[in-house]
Amino acid sequence: MRQLLLLRGTFNVLFAGYLLIAPKDTMLGGYYGVIDGALALLLAVALFQSVRGRWLFFIVLLDGIVRLAFGGMLLLNPNITTNLLTGAFFATAVITVFIALGITGVLYGVVHSFKEQGHSGSPQSLVWPAVVASVSTALFGVGLILGPSGSVERRFVVVAYGLVFGLTLLFAGIRLRSSAALPEA
């Protein structure tokens, strides 16, 4: 699980850095969605196999499916945003899903934190990263709605999201190592 967190975090940070210097490429979002979605699904499997991470399985599985669907849609339909109606529908759907996914993740983290608060020795190493990643996902959706309207400026919203999300996963992977001595049962 730790290696997948570190790999997914590194991928997101590198993607954000590449996005800053890359020429405008419509396929870039599709590749990002498919690769990050596949990494999320692998992480979901690892979480399901871990007793202390099982509570995160559903949200990470949902995250992986959404990212795979988003990336696949962009790869299969690279001109999806050229038709005004289709582009508006697609953008609205993506933004709504990111906001809903973020809110769901925050609720999962808060509920889990309250449930586990009374248990001594309960690992909390995955709670704060789940909440921070979920807040950044919801803010990404809100940023796409309320943020700048130009494509260059929106690119910075995506870069900021990729950096915050990726760094959160990296820190979770690093912190998971330090709490690896905690019992799984």
Q: pLDDT tens digit string along 119-174?
A: 544 455 668 888 888 888 888 888 878 877 766 777 788 888 889 999 998 988 88
Measured CA to CA, the distance from residue 116 to residue 57 in angstroms comes to: 16
Residue 168 belongs to what H/E stretch? helix 151-178
**pTM (2 decimals)?**
0.76
Token pair 């990212």 is found at: 67
Helices (H), 51-150: 57-76, 84-116, 127-146
Residues 6+ apart with CB under 8 A from 8: 36, 39, 40, 43, 166, 169
Q: Could you give the count of Cα atoms lying within 13 Å of 146 in the half-sphere of its Cβ?
A: 7
